[in-house]
A = this chain, B = another copy of it.
Amino acid sequence: MNKEAINKLMRPKSVAVVGASSQPGKIGYTVLENLIKGGYKGKIYPINPAATEILSLPVFASVSALPEPADLAIITVPVKFANQVAEECGQKGIKALSVITSGYSEVGRNDLEKELIDIAHKYGMCVLGPNIVGSLSNSDDLNASFGPFLPFKGSATLITQSGALLIAMDAITYTRKVGFDKMISIGNMADVDFADLIEWLEDDKYTSCTCLYVEGIKDGRKFIDACRNAKKPIIALKAGTSVHGAAAAASHTGSLAGSAKVYTAAFQQAGVVQASDLNNLFDRTLALSLMPPLKGTNLLLVTNGGGVGVLATDAAEKFGIPLKFAPPDVQEELKKHMPAFGSAKNPVDMTGMAGNDWYYETVKFAYAHPWTDGLVVLYCETAMTSPVEIAQAVKKAMDDSGMKGKPIMVSMVGGTRCDKAMQWLVENGIPAYGPPDQAMNAMAALSELNRIQSMLDKTEVVSDPACAAKAAEIIAVARGDGRTALTEVEAKQIFSAYGLPIAQTWLAKCEDEAVEMAKSIGFPVVMKIISPDIVHKSDAKGVKVNIKDEAGVRESYKTILANAKVYKADANIHGIAVQEMAPSGTEVIVGSVNDATFGPTVMFGLGGIFVEVLKDVTFRVAPVNKSQIEQMLTEIRGAPMLKGVRGELPRDRAALVDVLYRYAIMISDLAGEVSETDANPILVYAEGKGVKVVDARIILKKKA
């Protein structure tokens, strides 16, 4: 990241508008007008060779005619002139360009975009865009965009790949009362990308939470690293998660959509909370920008209406933060501010009789109590109470409690009076929502934030160069043969190099050798043909199992060899593998894909119908730390299988975690060489008994 240049981009002391126009309706006019209307305090330099004054500002004929290199140049000229303007900016010593101009890669002109960036980098300039609406910042009174006004004030910052959505979201901030400091249209991300801005925003004191609208990330690893290093919460809405939607997104921005499941995995690993839709993005941003994470599971719910209390309770369970009954001492105290027919259990139902005082006393006690990890205050509009007064009571109770560092939020179910009260709450730093499920979902975001942040740094992933060197040798042999498919024996050698517990497999070159190996392994054994020309061994009748003695080995050797000759007369036969016959266990499958966005990605699932019928698999970008792997083991639907079913002992999770950990390091190390791999099946035994990788497959990347 070119931090100095981005400083100038985001917080310029002077701004040049190249292509400033005197014609209302033109973007070059709108941008200039917005700078002025927004109240920008720095210098504004309109540039237009054909004008002398626009909107009462003196106009410069060209970039070179400027009295100083402006911190930021906003380029609004047509695409045919834009790169030339960039060149002039560079010559002038300008360091930051905001290229509103469109007509670049989004319409297939990747050449023009490359040229633009080459020019920029030649002069050490950073580029926002091209093809953007611009950027807006409340803290600098800077509307450097053609969006009509600065957003409702607050401390979130939006970075969006859709400029149209920026303009719409800007307007929504006022109706939804979700406050932003900055809104940044990132367009084609030809230079400055999500990662750069996330990194820069870490030091921006006006931003407490970063909010992303993502269609397609270009450099997945850079994104993950930037998010992982960020201390501030990040929330993302990923568009194009559906099959048809991904196609629509691709045609819309030209960005690679990647797999929605891999994005979800990467967000988890990066510590990014996800939003499910646009409303949810606002809901969760509000909570993340105003409240700390929810650090425990004791969520208390206070309400004046049984019905909304039940709805909120349902929502809590749905969003993964189920309610528990409050402990007896808490209940006892809470009973003091409700009628006899109220309930102090949780939800705490003060009934429709609850006025300001009960809300005050109950919230003050409940928020301060050490049992409470988080508090949701519900209010169902009644004719007898004033929502604004209830809101004020809640705020005062929170302040008077002396407690800090716990999340609290409010849900007000009612009409315009509630809307006003909720605005008051947000302006006073308390997230407020209409329907109770929105509040519960926002609270769940604070819980998710806590969970994924706690999983970021638990285990360091350590890669060993010796493993990679051993793998490189084996791969070199295959490459030397002109092959991209490794044999099972080769694949197992690489797996072994990475410490994966494979079922012992040796390659016999003659019958006697096979007998010797079988004796050494111990009967029964499995024997398989090993030939780069025979991929589907069973089809070639090249597999024999449960071979119990020497005679069996000799007979199998001959038969397999004969069958192979029948199947493919000129097959290059490496020999016959003699393999330990692993006892049966719970079948799992581990594999890898090279995701277009995130690179080597490990897949995990249970074998049999779980993968075949239920497609019950989960992903993580490699390498993966062990706490993430533990999470993988719980997030498949068949997770109970690993606890042992039908009287089985619990399966050896620790051994399985270790396998996934090593597997991910392996595919990460070999990312440059390997296109796909799998270990199918892996047998998982009872706790302490380990696992066995029974079969192994590695396919290399095609090289020119």
Contact = CB atoms under 8 A, between A and B. Distances in A.
A164 B306 contact: yes
Contacts of A174: 415-416
Given A167-B383, A413-B172, A245 B305 contact: no
A80 B515 CA distance: 97
Nearest to A304: B164
Contacts of A169: 413
Contacts of A315: 277
Interface string A639-679: 01100011000000000000000000000000000000000
Contact of A612 (B323, B435, B645): B645
Given A242-B322, A252-B349, A213 B307 contact: yes
Nearest to A213: B307
B278 A436 contact: yes
Interface stretch (A61-69, A340-348, A444-452, A523-531): A340-348
Contacts of A310: 215, 239-240, 245, 248-249, 252
A272 B210 CA distance: 41
A623 interface: no
A605 to B, nearest CB: 14
Interface in A482-500: none
Interface residues of A, number: 89
A244 B382 contact: no
A279 B437 contact: yes
A309 interface: yes
Nearest to A278: B435
Q: Which of A170, A252, A316: most chain B CB closer than 10 A?
A: A252
A381 interface: yes
A141 B106 CA distance: 57
Given A306-B253, A638-B609, A277 B311 contact: yes
Given A175-B416, A436-B278, A638-B613, A381 B168 contact: yes
A306 B239 CA distance: 10
9 contacts: A146-B383, A162-B305, A168-B305, A239-B310, A249-B310, A251-B343, A252-B309, A277-B435, A613-B640
Given A215-B310, A277-B315, 7 more contacts: A30-B383, A147-B383, A171-B414, A173-B415, A278-B308, A279-B435, A279-B437
